[in-house]
Structure 1
Amino acid sequence: MRVCLICEGCYPYIPGGVSSWVQMLCTQFSDVEFVIWSIATNREEMSEVCYEMPENIKELRTFYLGEVALNKKYRSVQMTAEDHQVLKALVAGKPEEIDWKRTLEFVKQYRTRLEDILMGEDFYQICLEEYDRRKSKKVFFQFLWNFRNMYFPLMNILSDEIPQADVYHSLSTGYAGILGSCVSYAMQRPFLLTEHGIYTREREEDIIRAQWVEEDFKEIWIDFFKKMSLIAYQQATVVTSLFQVNKTLQVELGCPEEKIRIIPNGVSVESFGELAAKRTGDPARFNIGAVLRVVPIKDVKTMILAFADVKDRVPAARLYIMGNCGENPEYYQECEELVQALDVQDVSFLGQVNVMEHLADMDLLLLSSISEGQPLAILEGMAAGLPFVATNVGDCRGLLEGENGEDPAGLIVPVMDSAAMADAIVYCYTHPKERLKMGQAGRRRVCERYRKEFFLKEYRALYNQLGEEQHGGNRV
């Protein structure tokens, strides 16, 4: 069997939870041939492979969104009236009103001419009509080029040569999802869509906060990502979700409920269990660890603010931030500057390290994210018998609090509330017996529900099912 994994902004260039998940999947399924189709930002940020890819990854193909440019010459495309309406619905229609079957047929038909269409008369007229309808106060050519900049990367991706595979498997909606949708339709192969987080909601949060998107265009960009998610949900043979709350969100965003299967993440219980047995503890120090990428969505600044408060009350506290610092250099510099401005001691950015070499020395772990799915960092910490203080995002509450009155494996605090996080950390420091009890509860929960063997068994069955059926095309 040959599976094409379509990754966006992660494997194999950016370390993190999703990338670790891909590495585990490919390594464990040694009898499956994988093609990695990676959608990256630009070569400067994402060119160095951060993982030792197993031999069954037969091809790595990378599409750099930031390195494509419009050709100065393009050919006129004579479109039928029906095709014009399909393009108009995609660009200017409401997401729920688009005929996705016709849209996919349109993309398949014009796959090698999409850039010509973008620069052609039909696209121009559609944007002009939309400009008038919205009564935009922007100069028209600014409006037009905003739409071209929106659809140009998408159309270039869809024009790429399609790798052969028995199953196409996208790890998010967005660009990866619509690419998987279109190639599965064109090749008439099954399409599996896995969502670790809810891409549409994450992009909506990004756009609302973004300064690169002018206020007049924010709604247009949000609708654009909703359209891409809808086409992926409609085309997918199976959609997987990590937990019930995310499944509910997928249904709200237009995914047919009958397609969704909940498959939680899993970790190597035995490997991390050895760390729990080695933990000795140093009464002269209170070591706090954070395993994360230093990027805005992880809200490292709130963590630093919380630690500054903790340090005043607990001089023995030490904070070790473990993870990639190079993905967003500007944000990393801002975090370092915040540490200096607060004049807080004992904050260490360790960069990309072997986490297992450090967890045995930790007393408590933190997660301060403003958005998550079902974090592998929490599962790994729980497997190592470590308690957590985490924000109330994604499945963090479900992981740490369990269900039906189970013993907690940590404490949940509100998003962006440094005072609440600081209080929770101090509570854990002043209640060592309770802290030990939380670590033990987390270890039990992972052993019972979140072993890597469980999720691998589910995906093995899915791959076998989809590979045997071979009828992924024309599902919309």
Structure 2
Amino acid sequence: MVSSEHDPAMDGTEPAGAVLPDGVPADGRYAEVDVAIVMESTYPYLKGGVSAVVHDIITGNPDLTFGIIHITWDHDSPRTDLYGMPGNVRWVKVVYLSMADHPEFTSSRPADLRMNHRERLVLSHRLVDALQALAAGEGKPVWDLIAEGMAASTRRYPLWALLGSAEFMETYRDRMPTLGMSLSELFWCLREFFSLAYAVLGQTMPRARVYHAHTTGYASLLAANAARENQGSFLLTEHNLYVRDTINTLLGRRMDKPVTRQDYRTFDVGGRDRMWMAWWIEMGRLCYPEAYATTYLYPDAVAEARELGLDSTAVHVIPNGIVIDEFDGAYAERRDATRLLRQEGVEAHRWRLVYIARVVPIKGLLDLIESMRILRERGLRFHLDVCGPTEHAPDYYERCVARIAELGLEDVITVRGTINVREHLSDWDLFLLPSYNEGLPVVSLETMGAGIPTVSTDVGALRPVVLDAITAQDGTVLDPSGFIISPGDPVLMADRIQQVTSDVDLFERMSRSARARAETAFNLLRVNAAYHELYVEGGVGRPRADAAHNAGARRPHGVPPSSRGRHRAPRRPVKWNWSRKPKGRSAAK
């Protein structure tokens, strides 16, 4: 292994003498690893679906070494390992976005450029030219400026210092006349962009063969640049569409609304919102071509990503997965419970319903509470457990609790908070997901593994998981394992719950199909084998001297870009062949 020295006190990542986050090397040494996982505010310090997937990838590839690059806001963010990181994780590198951790940025002045008026003017026009080229689909001029003025290992001047110069502000104002912002507003908005870019580009990352980002945005920008600086490769996995979700949040829109790369030019929004839309969209367009491969959880996400600028990089559809035999006990209990259900009859049964998600607006719990009101009025005997973190959106949580009380539903709805879901799978008959935004929730697969049918909104990968045709290895086309409905329709949710709970034959077919679909299409051994193959494609296991020549390696700064994939027609998504045998990879937790 190659070790690199790093003094946290020198780059602002950790104050001298500070208590380091779990997994950060106390001596500042970061060994070279096979794969550096790049995350935003998730693994290993926050629980959630993406964190669980990353943990499975790491534990499922025990012969590889990993590092974690964890992007978060500041030193007050969570810093305690919640997963008991596996032994093949060598380190955690924490990157802070807040400028409180980067005083060298805020103290910079135009004089630090060491340029005269004419040179600053030329650089200003060059920067605007590069941004306009990016908007037209060409990222090389921006990457050249990043190499010269941002990336720690190659920069010759502090590009961010240009922002405070009269030359830049005048150039930007004259060449971007339709922004609808005052010069002061423009300055502060651009300062935010520069500061965020500096936070992820301003220090050289530890060496890895593959930098695997699990979202676009800042994680992709960091990973793509780290691959360039360290002659590695950049792999991108989009669990959900970061750009779409971020822009919809900014504009207060429903989270399932599509977003395209043209929208910042056409939406009727203010200048500042338009600037932020452009920032997120163009950051994605800058990074997409840098990835040697991009993976998605379901095919429809690929089509949406194309509209956001995904180009001709190799695209793979790799769903999440579970170790199916870990759910054998819960499934056996489900089959016993179904036999008892037949004996007592559906009308006498008290149906055990469960919501498993964060209590936040995009997950739709308020809608589900309304569905419970409707079902009670219709006479259904039921109890709903609400399981998941309640602290992420306190105001919304209080609204949900107040609505339960207002409707007099306290005796049929219990808010249980965060629990170990696997220990309680035999407690529930039906899994309900009223969400407005998902990728492929691992909990959906876990409930399926236990034979629990689903009623879910039509978001993310839920339709192909629950409803679309899946062919078993014996050629049987499996039945649906539940119902899929439009988001935001409590009446339809109640209708579908009632449809399942009034027909024991339908319930049993969905239960058996849930288990069969999980066994057939969402086997974690095959998922981890798929990622392992992509890591090898990116250069893992090869001498570093050869890594620059493999299909995924990125070029060093200053080396002209190859024409790889830039003039080909966009490739169709590659669906993983789930009938293939996994190559013996361990998925032990």
TM-score (norm 1): 0.91
- 2-structure distance, mates of 1:118, 1:156: 16
Q: Tell me if 1:369 matches 2:435.
A: yes
Aligned length: 472
Q: Tell me if 1:73 matches 2:110.
A: no
Structure-2 change in CA distance of 1:166 and 1:268 (3 Å): same
Aligned counterpart for 2:127 among listed residues 58, 65, 87: 87
For the residue of structure 2 that corresponds to 1:166, the secondary structure is: strand
Which segment drifts farther, 321-330 or 223-232? Answer: 321-330
Residue 173 (structure 2) aligns with: 128
Residue 243 (structure 1) aligns with: 298
Q: Residues 277-322 of structure 1, C-alpha deviation per residue, up to 9 Å, x if partnerless?
A: 1235486521111221222221222122222222333453111122
Question: Does the 8 Å contact 2:357/2:387 carry over to 1?
Answer: yes
Residue 351 (structure 1) aligns with: 417
- 1-structure distance, mates of 2:147, 2:225: 7
Shift, 1:37, TM fit? 0.7
Aligned counterpart for 1:305 among listed residues 364, 370, 381: 370
Q: Tell me if 1:101 matches 2:182.
A: no
Q: Tell me if 1:143 matches 2:212.
A: no
- 1-structure distance, mates of 2:162, 2:379: 63
Question: Does the 8 Å contact 2:36/2:210 carry over to 1?
Answer: yes
Question: Does the 8 Å contact 2:60/2:525 carry over to 1?
Answer: no
Q: Residues 49-94 of structure 1, C-alpha deviation per residue, up to 9 Å, x if partnerless?
A: 3222112211112223346366553132235666434422455x37
Residue 217 (structure 1) aligns with: 272
Residue 293 (structure 1) aligns with: 358
- 2-structure distance, mates of 1:126, 1:35: 42
Structure-2 change in CA distance of 1:331 and 1:252 (3 Å): same
- 1-structure distance, mates of 2:171, 2:426: 60
Residue 568 (structure 2) aligns with: none
Aligned counterpart for 1:160 among listed residues 191, 203, 209: 203
Question: Does the 8 Å contact 1:95/1:226 carry over to 2?
Answer: no
Q: Residues 449-476 of structure 1, C-alpha deviation per residue, up to 9 Å, x if partnerless?
A: 1100111111111112212352222357
Question: Does the 8 Å contact 1:118/1:152 carry over to 2?
Answer: no
Which segment drifts farther, 68-77 or 358-367? Answer: 68-77
Aligned counterpart for 2:547 among listed residues 454, 459, 470: 470
- CA RMSD, aligned part only? 2.6
Shift, 1:247, TM fit? 1.6
Aligned counterpart for 1:334 among listed residues 391, 399, 408: 399
Q: Residues 240-295 of structure 1, C-alpha deviation per residue, up to 9 Å, x if partnerless?
A: 11221112222232222452112122111111232111235486521111221222
Structure-2 change in CA distance of 1:128 and 1:322 (3 Å): same
Shift, 1:106, TM fit? 1.4
Residue 494 (structure 2) aligns with: 422
Q: Tell me if 1:64 matches 2:103.
A: no
Shift, 1:101, TM fit? 1.9
Residue 380 (structure 1) aligns with: 446
Q: Tell me if 1:254 matches 2:309.
A: yes
Shift, 1:120, TM fit? 3.8
Please list every run of 5 or more consecutive structure 2 residues that lacks an aligned counterpart in the other structure. Answer: 1-32, 153-157, 254-268, 342-347, 471-476, 556-560, 563-589
Q: Percent identity?
A: 26
Residue 64 (structure 2) aligns with: 32
Shift, 1:209, TM fit? 0.3
- 2-structure distance, mates of 1:63, 1:320: 37
Structure ranking higher in helix proportion: 1
Shift, 1:399, TM fit? 0.8
Shift, 1:387, TM fit? 0.4
Shift, 1:437, TM fit? 0.9
Shift, 1:26, TM fit? 1.2
Question: Does the 8 Å contact 1:372/1:395 carry over to 2?
Answer: yes
Shift, 1:408, TM fit? 0.9
Instruction: Give the aligned residue type for 1:470.
Output: A
Shift, 1:12, TM fit? 1.6
Q: Residues 3-42 of structure 1, C-alpha deviation per residue, up to 9 Å, x if partnerless?
A: 1110013212221111100111111222222111111244
Question: Does the 8 Å contact 1:12/1:50 carry over to 2?
Answer: yes
Which segment drifts farther, 364-373 or 154-163? Answer: 154-163
Structure-2 change in CA distance of 1:166 and 1:419 (3 Å): same
Which segment drifts farther, 67-76 or 20-29? Answer: 67-76
Aligned counterpart for 1:185 among listed residues 204, 228, 235: 228
- 2-structure distance, mates of 1:22, 1:296: 25
Shift, 1:430, TM fit? 1.3
Question: Does the 8 Å contact 1:174/1:199 carry over to 2?
Answer: yes
Residue 8 (structure 2) aligns with: none
Instruction: Give the aligned residue type for 1:239.
Output: T
- 1-structure distance, mates of 2:203, 2:235: 20
Question: Does the 8 Å contact 1:314/1:426 carry over to 2?
Answer: no
Instruction: Give the aligned residue type for 1:299.
Output: G
- 2-structure distance, mates of 1:89, 1:19: 39
Which segment drifts farther, 214-223 or 455-464? Answer: 214-223
